[in-house]
Amino acid sequence: MDIRQLRYFTVIAEEKNISQAARKLHMSQPPLSQQLKLMEEEVGVGLVHREGKKLRLTEAGEKLYHHAVQITKLMEEGMEEVKEVGVGLKGSLKIGVNTLSEMSLSKLLFAFKDKYPMVTYEIHQNESGHLLELLRERAIDLAVIRFPVHSDEFAHFMLKKEPFYFVSREAWNGSLTLEKIASQSLVLPSTKGQGLYDYTLQYFAQRGYEPNIVCASSDLTLLSRLVQQGFGATLVPESAMHIFSEAKVHSYLVEDEDLSSQYGVAWMKKYYLSKVATRFLEMYKEITRNPLGS
């Protein structure tokens, strides 16, 4: 059994479907099925239970998957180290960024580029839930997301906990309470089923209020325009306030310590993290202790 077959088997195990695994490996289904059959013949035991189109690992399959992940990880690490000898750090860094972008990221990218000029970048922007799927699919190395994350598949470190602001076209008179915010027509900077949207609903519900949500938008440019035009007010974390930097709106800090948003960087525990991604994480952690430009 060679490294190529082990890679095939890890994808089969993770996709639990031959057709899906073949698509992910950019090959047709019959050759992949044949490879699985050859692996089972070589070890002398069945590696999967076939339940219609679904596959479930046998006990032997679980053992092989565990070792296959470790072996392919060591191989990838070895190849990365060999490539770095004599030429310095190079490769591609694939980052996912939450729709509510973390503003220090651009400064960090410039600093990282200065230190490692041969690294190239792919940056994907999406909701946190979609970014976690991209991590699972190995389409990205790291994801800057909003927490909480309800899964132990991911390792992470927290960057910042930040307050929320209430933003409206109209000036607000008097005290700003949760009850009064809930009664306003609200445009939320997320979509149903995503972290920030669900967090806002749950927060109000726990305090006995049902917010009047008239629109949810992950397009922050559109959200800013809607608020400016009086379509509704919004609640956004502090780091998203930049979208109103030139807008004629009124913003107010929500003085409730329990209403806060946390963001940080996440990655898959079980997958190999490239040296490029590891160095980027190290620099990210460093700037949280010593912010760039401070």
One digit per residue, the tens of pLDDT, for the chain of length 294 reads 899 999 999 999 999 999 999 999 999 999 999 999 999 999 999 999 988 889 999 999 999 999 998 898 888 777 777 766 555 577 889 999 987 666 678 888 999 999 888 899 999 988 888 899 999 888 899 999 887 777 888 999 888 888 999 999 999 888 888 899 999 999 998 766 566 788 888 899 999 999 999 998 888 889 999 999 999 999 998 888 888 988 899 999 998 878 888 888 999 988 878 888 989 999 988 877 655 443
Pairing of strands 142-147, 91-98: parallel
In total, the chain counts a number of residues equal to 294
Encode pLDDT of 102-144 as tens digits: 667 888 899 999 988 889 999 998 888 889 999 988 889 999 9
The one-letter code for the residue type at 115 is K
In sequence order, what DSSP letters do the residues of 124-178 get, joined into one string? EEE-HHHHHHHHHTTS-SEEEEEEP---SSEEEEEEEEEEEEEEESSPP-S---H
Q: Are 226 and 109 in contact (CB under 8 A)?
A: no
Q: Specify the 3-state DSSP secondary structure of 186.
A: strand
What the chain holds in terms of domains, given with CATH numbers, is 3-82 (1.10.10.10), 91-159+262-289 (3.40.190.10), 161-260 (3.40.190.10)
Cα separation, 271 vs 292, in Å, equals: 30
Q: Specify the 3-state DSSP secondary structure of 100.
A: coil
Q: Are 45 and 58 in contact (CB under 8 A)?
A: yes
